[in-house]
Structure 1
Amino acid sequence: MTEFMTSDLCDAFSEKLGIASPVFLRFGGRPRFCGEIATLKLFEDNSLVRERLSEAGRGRVLVVDGGGSLRCALLGDQLGELGVKNGWAGVVINGCIRDSVALAALPLGVRALATHPLKSVKRGGGESDVQVVFAGVRFVPGHWLYADEDGIVTSESPLL
């Protein structure tokens, strides 16, 4: 992965970037990550998260619009390990995670709104590869996401 800083990307490309509102907390053992965006839209059901992280990640970032729910977790250590095993660079969740200590030990970038100890239901609901909007940003499959200690930015094409 090429070294970058989101502040430098903003200085050079601000008119071309989506800049996420600073609502996410950092989890996972990789504070800085980037990659092509893959998306999921779901609510309190992480069945599709498991399904997607079981696929070859090829350095992509999985963006999950969980509707901002703070009532259960959509990612935990088992799914985090699955993401690492299959080559995902990171996961951004508009919702909660759990097993934060174990996730911190994994070489995976993770951003989420909060932690919650309760696991989600498993009903298989949701949509894959659709545009999602949260934190003031459109996350489009095939666009690029860059995350570091200062924030999250998106672009239509690779910047590095």
Structure 2
Amino acid sequence: MPSNGITIAPRVDAFAAGIEALRGVPSSVIGDVMGRLAGTTALRPVHRTPIAICGNAVTVRVRAGDNLLIHRALDMLQPGDVLLVDGEGDVSRALVGEIMMTSARVRGAVGFVIDGAVRDVDAFEEHRFACWARGVSLRGPYKDGPGSTNQPITVGDMVVNPGDVVAADSDGVVAIAPAEALAVARRAHEKVAQERQTIDAIVAGTYSSAWVEAALKQKGA
């Protein structure tokens, strides 16, 4: 990192085929087919109406309570982008609010993922702009830096690279590397179909839980 602590790298263009293949697939199912280790922890939706998004990752890392580099990243946003911010998990000061949300929205971005705090939460709901965050704070941020744009970051214990495919819904957020997106999508769609069959069998009264007894016997119970 430069001596001034600021790195500004360009956005990475979206992998459109991967985004389309994963659009609408539940985040929980994507996490399942990725080994159940993928996805965020401790981040919750700020918007209250359920919203599901799938888009291209634009990443920012900032010092706790400072949003200078987020303002720089806003100028990079393009339609379909998801802005993800590593704010060191600090919730003492909001990193984004209605003004920055409006700037992102008019550029066509589809959501924020903030490992830090946000404010003006009613505005996110009013405009149905998707946002996941660690907390809410009325206190505003500083604008001094340092930070970086479009470098690998961590949000909610999940590593995200610029250009990853990001899928998010009421359950959480998951990032998928472009090279893996189509294969993950194929497995996820297969699992969605399998789960629907299971639910239909439960409703019809034909579901068998014999596998539970078999698993317990295997463990010596």
Indicate the TM-score class for this superposition, using the shorter chain for normalisation: 0.7 to 0.9
- Residues 84-131 of structure 1 show CA distances to partners (whole Å, capped at 9, x for unaligned) of 000111111110000111121123210101110011011243111111
Q: Greater shift after overlay, 54-63 or 112-121?
A: 54-63
Normalised by the size of structure 1, how large is the TM-score?
A: 0.88
Q: Greater share of helix residues, 1 or 2?
A: 2
Partner of 1:60: 81
Amino acid at match of 1:3: G
Where does the alignment leave 5 or more consecutive residues of structure 1 unmatched? none
Do 1:30 and 1:110's aligned partners in 2 also have CA atoms closer than 8 Å?
Answer: no
Residue 31 in 1 paired to residue 54 in 2? no
- Over 3 Å counting, the alpha-carbon distance change for 1:156 and 1:95 in structure 2 is same
Is the deviation greater in 131-140 or in 97-106? 131-140
Q: Secondary structure at the match of 1:19?
A: coil
Contact 1:30 1:108 in 2 (8 A): no
Shift of 1:4: 2.2
Alignment of 1:100 with 2:100, yes or no, is no
For 1:17 and 1:48, the matched residues in 2 are separated by 29
Retained in 1: the 8 A contact 2:98–2:123?
A: yes
Q: Report how far residue 18 of structure 1 moved.
A: 2.3
Q: Which amino acid aligns with 2:43?
A: F
Asked which structure has the greater CA Rg, the reply is 2
Distance in 1 between the 2:157 and 2:68 partners? 26
- Name the structure where strand makes up a greater proportion of residues: 1
* Deviation sequence 1:21-78 (CA, Å, 0-9, x none): 2x11212366211211111110111122122223332211111000111110001011
**Identical aligned pairs, as a percentage?**
25
Match of 2:96 among 67, 71, 75: 75
Normalised to the residue count of structure 2, the TM-score between the two structures is 0.65
Q: Note the aligned Cα RMSD (angstroms).
A: 2.0
Alignment correspondent of 2:176: 155
Q: Secondary structure at the match of 2:29?
A: helix
Match of 1:114 in 2: 135
Q: Would the aligned equivalents of 1:53 and 1:82 in 2 still touch at CA under 8 Å?
A: yes
1:133 alignment partner AA: T
**Could you tell me how far apart the structure 1 residues matched to 2:46 and 2:67 are?**
18
The residue matched to 1:130 in structure 2 has which SS?
coil
Secondary structure of 1:15's counterpart equals: coil
Q: Distance in 1 between matches of 2:56 and 2:71?
A: 19
**CA 1:134–1:52: 2 relative to 1, 3 Å:** closer
